[in-house]
Amino acid sequence: MASLLTDQSLRIYKHDQRLVILSVSEGGLRIGENTEYPSFEHTDYTNGVYLFAETVSATSDVVAPHGLTVATCNLVGPGKEIHLDASGKAGSIGTPQNPDGGAGDSGGTVGLYVQDLSDTAAKVFTPLARGGDGGETHTAGKKGGDGGKGGSIITVLQPTYLAAQALVQKYIDRPEFDGSQSQNLVSDSDTLYDGAQALLDMAQGLSATQAVITNIFGQLSSVIDKIKKGETSTVADLLRAAGNASSMIYLAIMQQGNLAAPDDDQVRGGYPGTGTGVEADPGEAGKGGELYPTFIDSTAVRLAQAQLAFAHPEQCAMLLDRANTFFYLNSPVLRSHARRLYGRLIQRLSFLPLQSSDPLYQAYQNSSIMPSTSLDALKRILDSANDELVKLNSGQTDYNGHTPRWVPRASYDFYKGVLDDALTDLQSFETAYTQYHTALATQEDLNDKVKLAYSNTSRMVSRLNEDIEDIWSTLQDLNRKISAKTPVVLRAQKELKDAYEAEKAKIEEAFGLSISQIINAFTNIAMAPQKSMVAAEGADLIYKGFNSVPTADGGSVSKEYLASEIKQSEATISNIKLELKTKLDGTYQLDDAFAKRLIVEKERMLAQLDKFSDSALGGVKDADTRKDLKTKFDAYINTVTDRNDSILQYNVNVGLLVKKTEDKKQYENEQKKLENKQIANNDPDLPAITAYIDAIYQSSRTRVMKLLDILLRSLYFRMLRSHDVLAFAFNNSKVEVDSVPLSLTAKVLGGARGKIQEQFSKEVEEWGSEPARFPTNFDTDPGNRCYLDKFDRRQLLSGHSVTLTIQPVLKYSKDPGDFKNACNVRVYRARFGFTGLKTASGVNEDVRVIVTLTHGGNETIVNRSNEAIHFEHNPVSTLYSFRMRGDKVTSVMDNGNIGQADINQTATSYAAPGPFAEWTVDLDGTEFEKLDFSGVTEAFFDFCGTNYAFIQL
C-alpha cells in the first residue's frame, strides 16, 4: 500500500472498530473478489465500513455485515448483478449442549450515495440489509432461532442526466425561442447553433452508452448537421429538437428511478429457524427494516432532504487539493480537469447552507464518523471551489492570481534563495504532518507530533505576513492602473457616441426627415389607446414624410419598420454605460460579461443601421461615418476589456488577501489553543486539530508551489523561454491526469527546483556570451534614441506630460532606428532630451529640467527567433534631471537608472525591462518659466542598456 506522502490521494483510518477509506484518485477504489478488499467481515470492523471515493469499482458482491457506506461520484460494476450486502449473519445451528437454534443477527445499515449514477449502476447494484435467518434445531421439541430484524438502506442517487436536464432547459428558455423568430434561419455563426453544439459536446460526458446518448440527442444532432452543411434550418427546428431531447432525458431519469428504487424485500426480516428432520417449534420471523431513499429526479429536489451524510470534509478537502494542483500546473488539459473537479465539488455541496430542521443537517449531527465541525468545513471548501472556478473560467489569471503574461522583476538568484528557505520550512511541516497522521491512524500518542507542528507555526505566520505585504503592493499598483484607465474608457465612450451621431446625421440627410420625428411619431402611435388615433397619427406622418422607402434591389420597406430599427439602435447606444463601483468587500463591482455583451450590442446596432445602408436603400452616403463608427466601437470594447482585465486581477487579489489574513488569524488562534493542551485520541477537538495540521502543511506547500512558478517566470523573463511548470519542473511533456504526481511532497518539489536550475544552466549556455552594451560608456556616450512624433511632442510641450507607446522593433522592421538587428533589448538607464531647448532670454543661471519616466509595465521583448513576447509587471519609474544654461547641459543630477537593475551585476540585480512599452513622460518640477521651448524640434528617449543579435539563418 502506498504511504501517506507518496500518495496523498488515499487515506485509511482503522480505529474505534471501524474502517474509513478516503480516496480521490482517478483510478478509484476497487472492492470485491481479487482486490485488496474482497469483503469486510473482519471483526475489527464491528462499527462499520465507510468508503468515500471519487470512483468505486466492485468486482463481485461485497459483504459487510456490520454496515457499509459507499459515497462516490462513479459506481462501476462488472455488468452482472452486484449486492452491497450488510445483511445479518444467520443464527447458529442447535447443538447437544444448546439445542435451540440461535437467533439471526440484525441487518446493518447500507448507505449509498452516487453523484453521477449510470444506467448500468442503477440496474446492477442492489443494496441489501436483511435480517439474518434463525438457526435450525436438530432436537425434537426444541425451537428454531428467531429471524433477525432487517436493517436500514439509505440511498441518495443523482442520475447522470440531471445536469443535462438543467442545461437543455436553460437552452430552451433562451429569448431567441420566444416565438417571434421561429421562422428565422439559423447558420453556424449564430449563438443558437453554438448553444446546441455545446449541448451535444456535454452529452458525450454523460455516464451512458452511445446508443442512449444518440437516442436522446439524435434529433438535435441531425439539425446541427444540416446547419453545418448549409441546409435550411430554422429556429423552430432547433426548438423542436431541444424539446425532444428534454422529453427523452425526463424518460431516462424516470427509468433510472424505477431501476434504483429499493423495495421492502431488501430489508426484510430474517426467516425463522425450524427443525431439521424433527418436529420442532419455529422461531419468530424477524421484523422488516427501514428504507430511506432520496432520488434526485429534478434539480428542484433538494439534497437537504437526504438522510445520509455523504460528503466527508476531509475527502472533499483532498479533492479540492487535487483540483488546485491541476489548476496550478495550468496546461489546457489539466485546467479542464480542474474545472470538472471544481464543478463536481460545487454540485456535491450545493445543499449548503442547511437549516437545523433539514434531515441532512440531522444526519451530520448524528453521524458517528463526521466531525462536529463538518458543515463549517464543507462550507469553506465550497467557497474555495467557487472562488477558484471563477478565477479559472475568467482565463485571466492562474492559480496564484497571476496573468499569463505577468513576470517578477527580482532576479533569478533572489527567488532561488527565497524558494530554498520555503522548501526548508515545508520539510519541517511535512515531518509534523506525516508523523501526526501516522500516529492518528495507529492510535499512538499525538502530543509530540502536534507540538512539532505548532512550534513551526510562527514561521508560517511570518511567511503569510510577507505574502500579505506583497498583495497589498499589488493592489495599490492595480488600483492606480484602474484609475488611470477610467478616463480612457470614458473618452472612448464619448467618441463612440459622437461617431453614432455622425452616422445618424447621414441617414437624416438622405431621407430629409429627422430621426427624432420618426421616433416621436411612432412612439405616440404605440402609446395611443384607440385604433382611430393610430390611423390618424399614422396618416399624418405619411403626408409629412413617406409611406415606404424603395430598396436598392427594387423592393420596398415600410417606414414603420425603419423607425423601429432606428429606435432600437438609439436604445442600444444610450444603454451603453459602465460605472465603476465598489462593493462592501472591497472589490470592484465587475460585470464579467459586459465586454462580451458589448460585442453583441455592436453587431446588433450595426445590423439595425444596415437597414438604412446605401446597399439596402441607396442614396445614403455613409461609408466614411459607418467605418468610423465600427472603429470607435472596437476601440471602446478594447478599452473596456483592458480595464476589466485589471479589475479582475484586483478582485482576485482582494480575495487572496482576505484568505491569507483569515489563515493567519486561524493559525495563530490554533497555536495558542494547543500550546499547553494534552490531546487524547478520543478528544472531541481532534477533527479541528487534524484540520489545523493539514492546513498549515498545505499552506506551506502552496507557498513553495507559488515560488516555484515565480522562479520559472523569472527565468522566462530573463531567458525568453516558456515557463511551463509541468514540462520544466517535473520534466514531463504529457498533460494527462496520470502524468501529474500523486503527491507534491518536499522531495518532489525539491526535485522540481533542481530541474529548473538545470534548465537555467542550459539557457545560459545557449545564450552564450554576455550581451553587448549600448552605448559603450553610459556616462559619456549617447544611447539608442526613440523620437516622439509631432503630436506627442506637441502634447508634452503644451501639457507637460504625455503617455505614448514605443512599438517593438523586429528583425525586418521597416524603420528599426538605433535598434537595427538587436533582440532581447534591456534598458538599464533611461534619459530624455530635447533638440532646440534653451534657457529663456535674460536668464543667466543654471536652470533645472526634471523628467520623470514611467515604464507602464506592459511590454514586448523580441527573442533571437524574431518572436515578439509580451510581458507585464509592475510599473517602473526613474528620474532623469539635469541643469542647463543657454543650450548646454551643465550637469546631470539624476541619471535615469532603472530601479535596482545593475548592468554590472545582472545575475543578482532586478531584471531590467525593455524599451518597447507604454511610457509616461512627465516634466513636473521643471522650471518652465526660465526655459524657452519655442525652438524645440525634437524630443527623444535616450536609452542605455544591453542587447543580443538576431540569429542569422
Q: What is the pLDDT of residue 617?
A: 42
Q: Which 3-state string (H, E, C) describes 678-730?
A: CCCCCCCCHHHHHHHHHHHHHHHHHHHHHHHHHHHHHHHHHHCCCCCHHHHCC
Domain interval for residue 537: 477-643
Please provide residue 938's backbone torsions phi and psi, each rounded to the nearest 5 degrees: -145, 145
68 lies in some domain = no
- Taking a C-beta distance cutoff of 8 angstroms, is the pair 640, 594 a contact? yes
The closest alpha carbon to 304, from 268, 351, 250, 258, belongs to 351
13 lies in some domain = no
- Taking a C-beta distance cutoff of 8 angstroms, is the pair 354, 304 a contact? yes
Q: What is the dihedral of CA 636, 638, 640, 643, to 10 degrees?
A: -140
**Cis bond leading into 353, ω under 30°?**
yes
Give, as one character, the DSSP assignment of residue 39.
-
End position of a domain, from candidates 400, 423, 448: 400
CA 428, distance to chain mean position in Å, is: 31
206 and 331, same domain (yes or no): no
Q: What is the mean pLDDT of residues 500-504?
A: 74
Question: Of 348-352, 432-436, 533-537, 906-910, which has the strongest mean pLDDT?
Answer: 348-352
15/48 Cα distance (integer angstroms) = 11
Grid cell 431541444 is found at 242
- Taking a C-beta distance cutoff of 8 angstroms, is the pair 112, 64 a contact? no
Grid cell 445479518 is found at 88
- Helices (H) then strands (E): counts for the chain: 22, 27
Question: Of 294-298, 322-326, 354-358, 551-555, which has the strongest mean pLDDT?
Answer: 354-358
696/716 Cα distance (integer angstroms) = 30
Lowest pLDDT segment from 381-390, 522-531, 630-639, 701-710: 522-531
Cell of 444: 499512538
Q: What is the pLDDT of residue 291?
A: 97
The three-class DSSP label of residue 155 is: strand
854 lies in some domain = yes
Label residue 231 by pLDDT band (50, 70, 90): confident
CA angle (17 as vertex; 13, 23 as ends), nearest 5: 25
The three-class DSSP label of residue 917 is: strand
What's the predicted TM-score (pTM) here?
A: 0.73
Q: pLDDT higher for 582 or 275?
A: 275
788 and 915, same domain (yes or no): yes
Q: Is the pLDDT of residue 535 over 50?
A: no
End position of a domain, from candidates 643, 672, 691: 643
Label residue 601 by pLDDT band (50, 70, 90): low
The closest alpha carbon to 702, from 660, 735, 740, belongs to 660
End position of a domain, from candidates 256, 291, 319: 256
Percent helix, percent strand, percent coil in the chain, to nearest 5 = 45, 20, 35
Distances (CA, A) of 723 to 649, 713, 726, 847: 20, 6, 9, 49
825 and 898, same domain (yes or no): yes
825 and 923, same domain (yes or no): yes
Q: Where are the alpha helices (DSSP H) in 18-176?
A: 119-124, 162-172
693 lies in some domain = no
Cell of 119: 444506467
The three-class DSSP label of residue 135 is: coil
**Which one-letter amino acid corresponds to residue 111?**
G
Contacts of 440 (CB under 8 A, 6+ apart): 13, 446, 681, 686, 690
Q: What is the pLDDT of residue 567?
A: 44
Q: Which residues pair with 275 in a beta bridge?
A: 137
Q: Is the pLDDT of residue 93 over 70?
A: yes
713 lies in some domain = no
243 and 331, same domain (yes or no): no
The closest alpha carbon to 315, from 20, 722, 654, belongs to 20
61/66 Cα distance (integer angstroms) = 15
224 and 316, same domain (yes or no): no
393 lies in some domain = yes
Cell of 771: 550581451
CA 294, distance to chain mean position in Å, is: 31
Count other Cβ atoms within 10 Å, centred on residue 100: 22
Q: What is the pLDDT of residue 233?
A: 86
Q: What is the pLDDT of residue 449?
A: 63
Q: What is the pLDDT of residue 950?
A: 86
489/636 Cα distance (integer angstroms) = 7
What is the percentage of the chain residues whose pLDDT exceeds 70?
75
- Taking a C-beta distance cutoff of 8 angstroms, is the pair 137, 94 a contact? yes
252 and 306, same domain (yes or no): no
239 and 308, same domain (yes or no): no
Q: What is the pLDDT of residue 685?
A: 63
- Taking a C-beta distance cutoff of 8 angstroms, is the pair 314, 22 a contact? yes
What's the mean per-residue pLDDT of the chain? 80
Q: Is the pLDDT of residue 514 over 50?
A: no
365 and 495, same domain (yes or no): no
Cell of 235: 429556429
Radius of gyration of the chain (CA): 37
The closest alpha carbon to 749, from 426, 338, 401, 413, belongs to 426
505 and 584, same domain (yes or no): yes
792 and 932, same domain (yes or no): yes
339 lies in some domain = yes
**pLDDT, tens only, 577-588:** 444 555 444 555
- Taking a C-beta distance cutoff of 8 angstroms, is the pair 190, 247 a contact? no
Label residue 513 by pLDDT band (50, 70, 90): very low
**pLDDT, tens only, 290-323:** 999 999 987 656 899 999 999 999 999 999 989 9
- Taking a C-beta distance cutoff of 8 angstroms, is the pair 616, 551 a contact? yes
888 lies in some domain = yes
**pLDDT, tens only, 741-756:** 667 788 888 887 787 7
799 and 938, same domain (yes or no): yes
Grid cell 512599452 is found at 917
If one counts the domains in the chain, the total is: 4
Q: What is the pLDDT of residue 628?
A: 77
Q: Is the pLDDT of residue 34 over 60?
A: yes
